[in-house]
Amino acid sequence: MGDNLPTPELQAGERIDQLYSQDIQIIQSSQVFSFSLDAVLLAHFAKPPVKSTGRMVDLCSGNGAVGLFMAHRTRGKIAMVELQSRLADMARRSIALNGLTDQITVYQQDLATITEQIDKDSVDVVVCNPPYFADEPDSRKNPNPYLAIARHEIKTTLETTIQVTSDLLKMNGKAYFVHRPDRFLELATLMGEHRLAVKRVQFVYPKAGRDANIVLVEAIKDGKATGLKVLPSLMTYDENSEYSASVKKMLYGE
């Protein structure tokens, strides 16, 4: 996908990584932001709108990993929303690197105000990999401000993220979140309070016999509160401490 496109200028500490399964290149930085397996899992779990008229929004988009990894599965437009200017800039350069500037737009702003740019009730799908940790006074935060904001609810909250998701979505539009299992009930409760009915849930485990450490959630705006499906468990690693067959396929393809 990135053939014959100019290589973007990289800032100090940046590198170009590849998600081989999707032939996507992405600018990363260990000092600023690198996507984790969570982004790959969310991109695989979520179902983008297929039609060219479809609209998808990636909230808390970081360096653009989730939207980039899903771009090949939709002919519709994708909007990424990222508060941190350095991360938004990395996303824009990765979009150009993959020749996707006609499909993907980056909004560098607070997601709380994004409905000033994107109309309410106009979006088919919202995906979100939000900060996982509440901003408690005594919580230990990464001294790196980029990483602290990405991981802790310093600049937004789970409720704000869900409220904005609901505002953006059309009736029967779908939301896809990745989060920590210890906040699943809070997530589901907030979704219910904001017109989002949880429909599919998948728990991800580091390996067999361990507690789940990731949960993937699909919800439908104004959907019925019945019909929840809990999907088969997904293991990150096999008994040899290597990526499981399912995760290998997500990362490297067939």
Radius of gyration of the chain (CA): 17
- Specify which residues 15 forms β-bridges with: 28
| pLDDT tens readout for residues 174-224 | 999 999 999 999 999 999 999 999 999 999 999 999 999 999 999 999 999
List, in order of start, the domains of the chain with CATH numbers.
14-195 (3.40.50.150)
CA distance 87 to 77: 20
Its pTM stands at 0.90
Please report where in the chains the tokens 């297929």 appear, as a residue: 50
Q: Residue 139 is inside which H or E element, if any?
A: none
The answer to whether the beta carbons of residues 10 and 40 sit under 8 Å apart is: no
Is the pLDDT reported for residue 80 higher than 70? yes
Helices (H), 141-234: 145-151, 158-168, 184-193
CA distance 55 to 120: 12
Is the pLDDT reported for residue 142 higher than 70? no
Indicate the DSSP class of residue 75.
S
Chain mean position to CA 42: 6
| pLDDT tens readout for residues 17-30 | 998 888 899 999 88
Please name which of 179, 222, 169, 177 lies closest in space to residue 197, comparing C-alpha atoms.
Answer: 222
User: Residues with Cβ < 8 Å from 96, sequence gap 6 or more?
Assistant: 5, 6, 8
CA distance 219 to 223: 8
User: What is the pLDDT of the chain when averaged over all its residues?
Assistant: 89
Helices (H), 98-244: 145-151, 158-168, 184-193
